[in-house]
Amino acid sequence: MNSKRANILIVDDDAMNRTVLSDLLCDEYDIIEAKNGDEAIQILEKDAKDITLVLLDIIMPGRDGLEVLEIMNEKGWIKGTPVVMISAETSCAQVEKAFALGVTDFIYRPFDQMVVQTRVRNTIRLYIKQMQLSELVTNKIYERTRNSDMLISILSQIVEFRNGESGQHVKHISTLTDILLRALLKRTHKYNITEEDINTIATASAMHDIGKITIPGEILNKSGQLTQEEVQIMKQHSMNGARMLEGMQVFKNESLMKFTYEICRWHHERWNGKGYPDGLEGDNIPIAAQVVSLADVYDALTSERCYKKAFSHEKALDMIRNNECGVFNPLLLDSLNDVADSLPSEMNEKNIGRLSDANFAKIARSFFENESEKQDNIVLQQFNNEHKKSLFFESFQKDFAFEYTYDPSVLKISSNGAKILGTPQDIVEPEKRRVFWDTFGRSNWSAFSKLLFDSQHNNDTFSFCCEITVKGQKRPCKIKALQVWNRLHSKKPLLMSLYGCVEFLNK
């Protein structure tokens, strides 16, 4: 499965159906076949990350398509692998459940070559674009949070400057914290650490010594050994930092503030209870503080300070293992041993930095302004339609919004609208559902449809006034709608979807 072509998994109990689909798609894609749901799960267990698309029969003996979808949701595979359902006849309830479980599209038997190839191609293209967009959004979120990280780094480096330490100390601690947390997570799930927690703790670690702002410079930068009195003053920095953070009540419920407080106050505690300021022992010390404590000691040993020369990587590891710098959690020491050989190179690699502003802007422009295959790029059109929809909904006040797609026929109502109307949020094939007709009315639909199809397919908005039934009472309203037509691959435009909102007139 290491070929450069996309891999499509066809899951169908009928060998003839698998053969037909394979013949239709094998010129463009590598085909993998599964004759039932159990076999599909086995393949996904092993190679989910390499499967580009799943064509999944909804009705099969044993584990059917819906059960396969449920397992794909439980395992998280549905997030990375789009699914197109295949079936001859499907009830509204089955379609509705399939969409709820994350299905991207439907293909009905008997198979039409153009329909199968086009829907598979478009689904894969859209998936690839979504992955690219997701990466761009992730980087954009980084840009939005970078100012906060920068402020933390500036405050922390003020401390390092006053303390005569390397300007890289804060960065080293953050990088080491990230590496150690990931190594710990491979060994145990005892501490319930999430990916988000790792990023937050690594950021919070930059503030570990913020309390040193309160320590006199002559003590911070003393080249000789500190007196007992000076040692006690120096030790006050952990509690001083915690008190500073306690005063920031507006942020007290933020996870970043929680981890920062734990780290500031307890990163000098030790596993055997002989640390400070509170003499905490074992796992009474929050894991964030434990990890930063180990990172801080390692970097202090391997860095040159005003009072010492730098120790080598190997010497620092020996001193830590021999408890010369205090006693640490055995699990953390094992985690440190796991990454010891690669730690120096990982430190250098991770300190190279993120994508530059210029490169990020260049990627964003190339993604959204790519001219290749522009005439037949349905994905580009879909993104443009989403942009229009967003601007449309922002342009006025509304009581609730809706979206109606024609193939498959699904009406999606905003949560607020479903609550007002007393209807489900997603109504599959609404024209066959009594709840739709009881609310909207057949005469309204006739007039609405005529207005819609007389609009000359120009992707424009239009308004429609009528009365709809809300919980047994007629209420006058104004419906404003935006049409989206597909002019690609067809001489006659096809209506793809309708976005709209409802505003009640007698509030």
C-alpha atoms less than 13 angstroms from C-alpha of 378 in its C-beta half-sphere: 18
pLDDT of 33 > 80? The answer is yes
| pLDDT score recorded for residue 9 | 94
Rounded to an integer, the average pLDDT of 465-475 is: 90
| Entry pTM | 0.44
| pLDDT score recorded for residue 322 | 94
pLDDT of 312 > 60? The answer is yes
pLDDT of 486 > 90? The answer is no
pLDDT of 357 > 50? The answer is no
pLDDT of 269 > 90? The answer is yes
| pLDDT score recorded for residue 447 | 85
pLDDT tens across 418-468, in order? 888 888 877 878 888 888 898 998 888 888 887 777 655 455 677 889 999
Instruction: Determine if the peptide bond prior to 408 is cis (ω within 30°).
Output: yes
pLDDT tens across 34-55, in order? 999 999 999 999 888 889 899 9
- Other Cβ atoms less than 10 A from the Cβ of 150: the count is 10
| pLDDT score recorded for residue 476 | 92
3-state secondary structure 291-334: HHHHHHHHHHHHCCECCECCCCHHHHHHHHHCCECECCCHHHHH
Backbone angles phi, psi at 486, to 5 degrees: -105, 115
| pLDDT score recorded for residue 32 | 94
3-state secondary structure 55-119: EEECCCCCCCHHHHHHHHHHHCHHHCCCEEEEECCCCHHHHHHHHHCCCCEEEECCCCHHHHHHH
Percent of the chain predicted with pLDDT > 70: 75
Backbone angles phi, psi at 378, to 5 degrees: -70, -25
Percent of the chain predicted with pLDDT > 90: 29
pLDDT tens across 374-402, in order? 444 444 454 455 545 544 554 544 678 88
| pLDDT score recorded for residue 359 | 40
Supply 192's token pair: 């319930």
Element (DSSP H or E) covering residue 8: strand 7-11
pLDDT tens across 256-268, in order? 889 999 999 999 9
Residue type for position 436: F
**Choice between 378 and 171, residue whose per-residue pLDDT is larger:** 171
Q: Which range among 122-126, 245-249, 491-495 has the greatest average pLDDT?
A: 122-126
| pLDDT score recorded for residue 194 | 87
Q: Nearest-5° angle of CA 234, CA 235, CA 237?
A: 80
What residues have CB less than 8 Å from 311, skipping those under 6 apart?
A: 301, 302, 319
pLDDT of 76 > 50? The answer is yes
C-alpha atoms less than 13 angstroms from C-alpha of 241 in its C-beta half-sphere: 32
Class of domain 7-111: alpha beta
Rounded to an integer, the average pLDDT of 80-104 is: 81
pLDDT tens across 202-213, in order? 888 988 888 887
Kindly give the pairing relationship between strand 83-87 and strand 53-57. parallel
DSSP label at residue 506: -
Rounded to an integer, the average pLDDT of 227-232 is: 90
Class of domain 144-350: mainly alpha
pLDDT of 317 > 90? The answer is yes
Query: What CATH architecture does domain 378-504 belong to?
Result: 2-Layer Sandwich (3.30)
| pLDDT score recorded for residue 297 | 95
- Answer for the pair 72, 27: CB distance below 8 angstroms, yes or no: no
| pLDDT score recorded for residue 349 | 57
pLDDT of 150 > 70? The answer is no
What residues have CB less than 8 Å from 469, skipping those under 6 apart?
A: 438, 439, 440, 441, 475
Among 308-317, 366-375, 434-443, whose mean pLDDT is lowest? 366-375
Q: How confident is the prediction for the chain on average, in pLDDT?
A: 79
Q: Where are the domains of the chain?
A: 7-111, 144-350, 378-504
**Choice between 373 and 270, residue whose per-residue pLDDT is larger:** 270
